[in-house]
Amino acid sequence: MIKRDGRREPFENMKIKKGLIRAFEKRPVSIDHIDEIVEQVEREMLNKQREEVSSKEIGGAVSRRLKAIDKVAWLRFASVYFEFDDLGDFEKAIGNGKG
């Protein structure tokens, strides 16, 4: 995986799972559903049939799935992934459906 700053590191599905668990905290989603999302994202990245994928591609795949399942979890994830700095960033994301 290629990070935003250009560093390369191995793809770790546990990082995705941890992020999802945080995003879904106190939300009505089971750990089995979270595992399913992780598998879907991993499968999507493998289907690209490239040796490396960017963290942006991974984050986008996670974000799309979250948005379809739970808007609160999606917003939590987006706030970290898109590096929101203030309330205006949240408002923009909600307004234009970023992710």
pLDDT value at 38 more than 70: yes
Rounded to whole angstroms, how far apart are CA atoms 21 and 5?
25
Contact 84, 27 (CB under 8 A): no
20-40: average pLDDT:
94
Rounded to whole angstroms, how far apart are CA atoms 83 and 68?
21
Rounded to whole angstroms, how far apart are CA atoms 19 and 25?
10
pLDDT digits (tens, 9 = 90+) for 71-89: 899 888 877 777 667 767 6
CA 93 to chain centre: 14
Specify the 3-state DSSP secondary structure of 92: helix
- Which carries the bigger pLDDT value, residue 14 or residue 86? 14
pLDDT value at 90 more than 70: no
Q: What is the structure's pLDDT at 97?
A: 55
Q: What is the structure's pLDDT at 1?
A: 63
pLDDT digits (tens, 9 = 90+) for 58-68: 988 998 999 89
